[in-house]
């Protein structure tokens, strides 16, 4: 009998076609977000689920899915999945790292440049018909070249951001639990420093850590106060890594020069004070939003879900210990 797979939301069609070859697919081809109750109901017969970061795969939901063998997340981050609860049931959890590294690093750099050179403000100024003439001090921003970039979290994406920074002639420091191998750090011209030193030295601080209990509000009042005056904070990781209210207050106090955010604490809600500020660039969680990348992410998740359900090894298990 073919295994049953729930696909919780709209994905690129090739992923569905691929799953349908060997599975019975319950495809919820919708743009809406499923709440926990509906998700649990839809999962009652499923052996596999292809899910997204909006799906609450909590311990409670997992407990209501007795046949579940695999949770395949269409994203690199999987903080919406209770991996401990899944592992306790020997349910494999997979994600989609690698394919989105360069796209996310590109978007990070786009945000850095947009904040430094005030691109959204300048574009609004033009579209609103306010541009009259060239002026020597019109919409001046700040330098990128020669500035210090502090990268917090030095995994694939953090390192890809460092590569871009090198090309822009920036000095790079990074903070991470484990320093990168010497040759990797040397190749990127990046120096490992403690977080407090990074915050003190950096003109731009960019966050690239996963969301865990340890990184929730990693950037809050003490860290914002420790940042160099006028520095710009960039977040393309997960919203709750930054205490958004504290960030709004720090901007208000003039401690920071600005912020550029692709992710938020309570998506899609945005702290209203941030929406009102001109020194904040805001994007709707589009870090990896490149058509080829997103379709590869869907395909990877589908393939790993199918693999587990057919006794094959998935490419990207996040809890490989349950496979042995
Ligand atoms: C997107 O945010 C992802 O984690 O892939």
Protein residue with its CA nearest to atom 4 in ligand 1: 77
User: Average model confidence (pLDDT) for the chain?
Assistant: 98
* Marked catalytic residue, from 9, 118, 164, 238: 238
Question: From ligand 1's centre to the CA of 191, what distance in Å?
Answer: 26
pLDDT in tens, 54-109: 999 999 999 999 999 999 999 999 999 999 999 999 999 999 999 999 999 999 99
The structure's pTM equals 0.97
pLDDT at 263: 98
Find, among 231, 254, 253, 235, the residue nearest to 243 by Cα: 235
- What is the strand order of the sheet 148-152 is part of? 190-192, 171-175, 148-152, 204-207, 232-235, 258-261, 280-282
193 alpha-carbon distance from chain centroid = 23
For residue 28 the two structure tokens come to: 């919820």
Question: Are residues 288 and 97 in contact, defined by beta-carbon separation less than 8 angstroms?
Answer: no
Percentage of the residues of the chain whose pLDDT score is greater than 70: 100
Percentage of the residues of the chain whose pLDDT score is greater than 90: 100
Testing ligand 1's pocket by substitution, the residue of 52, 53, 153 carrying the most ligand atoms inside 8 A of its CB is 53
pLDDT at 32: 96
How much is the average pLDDT of 160-183?
97
Could you write out the DSSP letters of every residue in 7-72?
A: E-S---HHHHHHHHHHSEEEE---SSPPPHHHHHHHTSS-SEEEE-TTS-B-HHHHHT-TT--EEE
pLDDT at 108: 99
Cβ–ligand 1 contact at 296 (below 6 Å): no
Would the CATH topology of 4-99+291-323 be identical to that of 101-282? yes
pLDDT in tens, 5-42: 999 999 999 999 999 999 999 999 999 999 999 999 99
Domain ranges of the chain: 4-99+291-323, 101-282
**What's the rounded Cα separation, in Å, for the pair 20 and 55?**
22
Find, among 324, 249, 283, 310, the residue nearest to 70 by Cα: 310
Q: How confident is the model at residue 324 (pLDDT cuts 50, 70, 90)?
A: confident
pLDDT at 146: 98
End-to-end CA distance of the chain: 25
Q: Which residue has the higher pLDDT, 324 or 110?
A: 110
What's the fold here for domain 4-99+291-323? Answer: Rossmann fold (3.40.50)
Residues 101-282: name the CATH superfamily: NAD(P)-binding Rossmann-like Domain (3.40.50.720)
pLDDT in tens, 237-289: 999 999 999 999 999 999 999 999 999 999 999 999 999 999 999 999 999 99
**What's the rounded Cα separation, in Å, for the pair 261 and 93?**
28
268 upstream amide cis, omega within 30 of 0: yes
Active site includes 238?
yes
Q: How confident is the model at residue 52 (pLDDT cuts 50, 70, 90)?
A: very high
pLDDT at 260: 99
Testing ligand 1's pocket by substitution, the residue of 11, 75, 236 carrying the most ligand atoms inside 8 A of its CB is 75
């Amino acid at each position: 009998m073919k295994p049953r797979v729930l696909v919780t939301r709209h994905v690129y069609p090739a992923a569905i076609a691929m799953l349908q070859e060997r599975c019975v697919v319950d495809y919820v081809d919708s743009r809406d977000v499923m709440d926990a109750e509906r998700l649990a109901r839809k999962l009652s017969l499923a052996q596999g689920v292809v899910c997204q970061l909006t799906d609450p795969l909590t311990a409670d939901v997992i407990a209501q899915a007795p046949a579940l063998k695999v949770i395949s997340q269409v994203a690199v981050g999987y903080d919406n999945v209770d991996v401990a609860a899944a592992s306790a049931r020997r349910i494999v959890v997979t994600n989609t790292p690698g394919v989105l590294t360069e796209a996310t690093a590109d978007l990070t750099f786009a945000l850095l440049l947009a904040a430094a050179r005030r691109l959204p403000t300048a574009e609004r100024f033009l579209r609103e018909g306010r541009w009259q003439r060239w002026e020597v001090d019109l919409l001046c921003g700040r330098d990128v070249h020669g500035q210090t970039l502090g990268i917090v979290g030095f995994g694939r994406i953090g390192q890809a951001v460092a590569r871009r920074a090198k090309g822009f002639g920036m000095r790079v420091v990074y903070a991470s639990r484990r320093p990168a191998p010497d040759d990797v750090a040397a190749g990127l011209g990046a120096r490992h420093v403690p977080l407090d030193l990074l915050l003190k030295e950096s003109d731009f601080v960019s966050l690239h850590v996963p969301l865990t209990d340890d990184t929730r509000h990693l950037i809050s009042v003490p860290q914002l106060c420790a940042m160099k005056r006028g520095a710009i904070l960039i977040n393309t990781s997960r919203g709750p890594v930054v205490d958004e209210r504290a960030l709004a207050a720090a901007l208000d106090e003039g401690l920071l020069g600005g912020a550029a955010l692709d992710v938020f604490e309570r998506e899609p809600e945005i702290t209203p004070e941030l929406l009102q500020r001109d020194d904040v660039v805001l994007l709707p969680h589009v870090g990896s939003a490149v058509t080829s990348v997103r379709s590869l992410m869907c395909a990877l998740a589908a393939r790993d879900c199918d693999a587990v359900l057919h006794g094959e090894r998935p490419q990207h298990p996040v809890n490989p210990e349950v496979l042995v």
